[in-house]
Every structure is written in structure tokens, then in C-alpha cells.
A and B are shown apart, each in its own frame.
Chain A
Amino acid sequence: MANILDIRRRIRSVTNTRQITKAMKMVSAAKLRRAQERALAARPYAQMLTNVLKSLVARTDIYDPETGEPRHPLLVQRPEENVLILVVTGDKGLAGAFNTNILKAATKFLELKHGKNIEIEAVGRKGRDFLRRRYPMAEPRKADSKDAARTTVVAEKVGVLNKVEYSLAAEIAERVIERYSRAEIDSVYLVFNEFKSVIAQRLVVEQILPIEKVGETTVTQAEEMDLEARKHAIEAAKGTGVGLRPPDTHEVDEAAAKFATAPVDYIYEQPPEELFRSLLPKYIGVQIFYALQESVAAEHAARMTAMEAATNNATDMIDSLTLIMNRARQAKITKEIIEIVSGAAAAS
């Protein structure tokens, strides 16, 4: 029979753990709410930019009428030989299967592109650690390189997800655009966890370059969240003030849709082609910014769910330990009574 004192000590330790996981859950919920607000605040810019680009596409000859070649280097499509993949994970663990799932999706995608020269940019410490263990670090490939096709990690961003700022996305975008224009890479993909709400998330691989059609994302691989995960997420969101529905963006979107697309004759200070040319790179930045924000929100949501599960497990453990302890105490008392009774019987 286990020692009562030992069991009592274990109960106390599990109770402490439960307190920590409970606190972590509430912290994650608060961070998730903030991340959602930030994503919402970023919406008008992204929508307006996309809309004005779309309307400019209609007014611009983006293809050379004689050769049929696109006039902007970001619209040029080349045979895909050199692939750049941006993998967005979290910096921290304790978020259930969040990081693992993203890396699984990334691995699956890497297999799909097997045989091509693949370069990986890892955003987030967890993804960096995993990918660095599997693939060597290397310098980004030059356009005239004759090296054989292989998979390498060319860049990493770690510890930047605490507060996602546009400048981070802009920096990544700038490098990507430059390399694409120099034909060092032929396509760029983003692997990240898309977040609409706690119960509507998917793991996606999105093609951001070449731009196939402005205003439409090209998703090459997607994985919805399963029913089990959804059920846990609903449970975890209870009482935290995190809504299950995606926030209503209807009004914002409608206002944004009007930007620079009014049915009037605009005076163009610059020719539409020129505007188009300077706007297109910003569009890449916005897409990366969006992915980073979504990923951060999803990470907090995953941590919230994981901590809820941990709290529940701790409660179960305390219950069963209490039962064992009571049983042990009862057994001890019974034993003592038997001893006294048999002692008395022997004496009489």
C-alpha cells in the first residue's frame, strides 16, 4: 500500500501544475484576442491594395501585345526548377500539435517537389530547429549556379513573432521579390496555419509567386482541422471571451472595395502601368504579413486548447490520486482496529 504522505505530496504537486496550465490558458486566450484584433485592423489595407490592383489590371496592358510576355518580372512564369518555401511556425512549444502539424505539411510538400532545387526560409524557432536538423544550411543560390538540385535552409527568422510588425513582412518580401526578379528562384510558397476562428483553421501551402491572378490566392495543399480538434477547441474557448465565429468583416470589406474603383474618370498622376508596377511588390508583402498574423493567432489558439486539455488531465489525476489516498488511509485504520481487537482478545 502506498505511503499516504507520498500521495498527498503528489496531489499537491499536480495541483500546482494545474494552476500553471490554467494561467497559461488564460494568457493564451488574451493573446489570441489581441492577435485577432490586430488581424482585423490590418484588413482594410490588404483589401484596398488588392482591389486597386485588380482594377489596375483591367486598365493596364500587362502583357506585351506582340510577344505575349508579361511586362512585370513578378508575373513571368518560368519552368519550376528552383523553389523557395517559407515555413511559418511558432517560437515556443507547449501548443499541442501546432508546430508538428505545420512541419508535417511542409515535409509532405517537400516530398512533392522532390528532385527540384529547394530552398527553405524558416520563420519561427520550432520550425528552424526541425529543418536545420534535416537539411544543411547554405547560401542562397545564384542565378547562374550549376550546383545539383538539393534541399537547403537558406534563411531563418527566430524570435520575431512576439509582435508581428509589417516591417518584418516587408523585409522578407523585398528579398523574395529581388531573388525572383533575378531568376534565382522560379516559385515561392508559404506554408502556414490559416486562422479564421478557433474552429475554422486549416494548414495551407499557398503559392505567392508567380502571381497567377491578382486577388486570388493559389492554394496548392490544404488540410482542414478534424472534428476531434474542433470539439476540444470549442471546449477550450468557453469562458475565455474568445468568439467561435470569425469576426464580421463585411462592413470593412465593403468600404475597402470602393477604394480607387469609383465609377468616375480618375486623373492618373502616374500612368496606370507605373502604378501597377510599384503596387505589385506591396501585394507580396501584404500576403506574407497576413500569413504571419494568421499563424500567430493560430498558435495562441492551439496553446489555449492544449492548456485546457492539460488542466483537465490534471483534474482527473487529482481525483484518482485522492481516491487512492482515501483508500490507503481507510486500509490503515482498518488494520489498526484489527490489531487492537486481536490484541484485546489475546489478553482476555
Chain B
Amino acid sequence: MPDTLQLEIVTPEKMVVKDVAQEVQIPGKGGYLGVLPGHAPLITELAIGEIVYKNANGTQRLAVAWGFAEVLPDKVTILAESAEKPAEIDVKRAQEAKTRAEQLLKAGGPDLDYGHAEAALQRAETRLQVAEKK
């Protein structure tokens, strides 16, 4: 039985993480999943949320928005539309996006794309959350 997981996180622009982890937490669409080495093979879609993993240097966090993950006993591969490390997050921009989305949702109206605004709000909140815990 393997005692570590190879973790790869890939975005359309580049490979963000290529690391060895002891434990990975993924924001699955149906709720967060904790993955330890030796996990059964699994495929899942990701929601907006944070990926948390433990490597030799401690706990690492990333904010992701939509993705797709494959879990194998010794490997976790994540395709994410975007994955940002705390240092890469523009807190000011996220804050602005949050306010904007909140206002949109509050204003309502027939033209409001509710799903869109909700997703934007969630993305902004996740970013802020990840940036805070750095």
C-alpha cells in the first residue's frame, strides 16, 4: 500500500502543482472529499472551493473554480479551470468582485442571471478565505 500521494494540479495555462502529499482534500460537487493514500479509484467533478493538501512543508491551500479530479491509490490528478495559491490571489479584486456580486443579488430583477452571480460570489468568497489562511 502506498503511503504518499502524487498530486498534480493542472490548469489551462500551466501545471500549477506537482508535489507529493500525505493527504488531499478536494471540493467535490457533492461535498468535500478527503483522500488518503490507497483510496479507491474515483472520478468526480469539482465545485468552487479550496483544495487543501499536506506535504513535507505543512498544509497548502489553493482556491479552485470548477474542475475535474481523478483519484487513484497513489495519485491524484486535478484539472481545474483556475487554481490559485494564496500568494497569487488579488485580495482587493476578490473583495470588489464579492461586493459586486452581492449587490447584483440584492438588486434582483428579471435580467439577473442568478446562477452566474451566485457563482461569482462563491468564487470571490473562496479566494478571500484561502488568502486569509496563508
Q: Which chain B residues border A41 with CB–CB below 8 Å?
A: 13-15
Query: Is the CB–CB distance between A166 and B13 below 8 Å?
Result: yes
Q: Complex Cα distance A266/B42, Å?
A: 5
Query: Is the CB–CB distance between A267 and B29 below 8 Å?
Result: no
Q: How many A-B pairs fall under 8 Å by CB?
A: 78
B77 is an interface residue with CB less than 8 A from chain A: yes
Select from chain B the residue with minimum beta-carbon distance to A48: B79
Query: Is the CB–CB distance between B43 and A269 below 8 Å?
Result: yes
Q: Which chain B residues border A45 with CB–CB below 8 Å?
A: 10-13, 79
User: CB < 8 Å: which of B30, B40, B43 contacts A275?
Assistant: B43
- Closest chain A CB from B46 CB (angstroms): 10
Q: Complex Cα distance A279/B43, Å?
A: 13
Q: Complex Cα distance A45/B45, Å?
A: 15
A286 is an interface residue with CB less than 8 A from chain B: yes
Q: Complex Cα distance A286/B10, Å?
A: 13
Query: Is the CB–CB distance between A262 and B15 below 8 Å?
Result: no
User: CB < 8 Å: which of B12, B42, B44 contacts A42?
Assistant: B12
User: CB < 8 Å: which of A44, A169, A262 contacts B10?
Assistant: A44
B19 is an interface residue with CB less than 8 A from chain A: no
Interface of chain A residues 22 through 66 with chain B (CB within 8 A): 38, 41-42, 44-46, 48-49, 52
Q: Which chain B residues border A266 with CB–CB below 8 Å?
A: 41-43, 70
User: CB < 8 Å: which of B12, B42, B43, B45 contacts A166?
Assistant: B12
Q: Which chain A residues border B40 with CB–CB below 8 Å?
A: 267
A265 is an interface residue with CB less than 8 A from chain B: yes
A179 is an interface residue with CB less than 8 A from chain B: no
Select from chain B the residue with minimum beta-carbon distance to A260: B70
A291-305 interface bits toward B, Cβ cutoff 8 Å, 1 = contact, 0 = none: 000000000000000
Q: Which chain B residues border A262 with CB–CB below 8 Å?
A: 41, 70, 72
Q: Please classify the interface of chain A as helix (H, G, I), strand (E, B), loop, or mixed, using the class held by over half of its residues.
A: helix
Q: Complex Cα distance A268/B41, Å?
A: 9
User: CB < 8 Å: which of A42, A46, A52, A282 contacts B81?
Assistant: A282
Query: Is the CB–CB distance between A269 and B14 below 8 Å?
Result: no
A309 is an interface residue with CB less than 8 A from chain B: no
Query: Is the CB–CB distance between B42 and A267 below 8 Å?
Result: yes
Query: Is the CB–CB distance between A260 and B15 below 8 Å?
Result: no
Q: Complex Cα distance A49/B28, Å?
A: 18
A289 is an interface residue with CB less than 8 A from chain B: yes
Query: Is the CB–CB distance between B13 and A165 below 8 Å?
Result: yes
Interface of chain B residues 2 through 42 with chain A (CB within 8 A): 10-15, 28-30, 33, 40-42
A3 is an interface residue with CB less than 8 A from chain B: no
Query: Is the CB–CB distance between A46 and B29 below 8 Å?
Result: no
Q: Which chain A residues border B10 with CB–CB below 8 Å?
A: 44-45, 48
User: CB < 8 Å: which of A42, A46, A52, A169 contacts B68?
Assistant: A52
Q: Complex Cα distance A285/B70, Å?
A: 21
Known contacts being A41-B13, A260-B70, A285-B12, is A275 close to B42, with CB within 8 Å?
no
Q: Complex Cα distance A107/B81, Å?
A: 34
Q: Complex Cα distance A275/B29, Å?
A: 11
Select from chain A the residue with minimum beta-carbon distance to B43: A266
Query: Is the CB–CB distance between A275 and B79 below 8 Å?
Result: no
- Closest chain B CB from A27 CB (angstroms): 23
Q: Complex Cα distance A267/B29, Å?
A: 14
Interface of chain B residues 75 through 131 with chain A (CB within 8 A): 77, 79, 81-82
- Closest chain A CB from B92 CB (angstroms): 18
Query: Is the CB–CB distance between A279 and B68 below 8 Å?
Result: yes
A278 is an interface residue with CB less than 8 A from chain B: yes
A159-179 interface bits toward B, Cβ cutoff 8 Å, 1 = contact, 0 = none: 000000110011000000000
Chain A residues close to B by CB (< 8 Å): 38, 41-42, 44-46, 48-49, 52, 165-166, 169-170, 259-260, 262, 264-270, 274-275, 278-279, 282, 285-286, 289
Known: A48-B10, A48-B79, A266-B42. 18 other contacts (CB 8 A): A41-B13, A42-B14, A48-B77, A166-B11, A259-B70, A265-B41, A266-B43, A266-B70, A267-B41, A267-B42, A268-B43, A269-B42, A269-B45, A270-B44, A270-B45, A274-B45, A275-B45, A278-B45
Q: List 8 A-B contacts (CB under 8 A).
A: A41-B15, A42-B14, A52-B79, A166-B11, A269-B33, A282-B81, A285-B12, A289-B12
Q: Which 3 A-B pairs have the closest CB atoms?
A: A269-B44, A166-B12, A41-B14
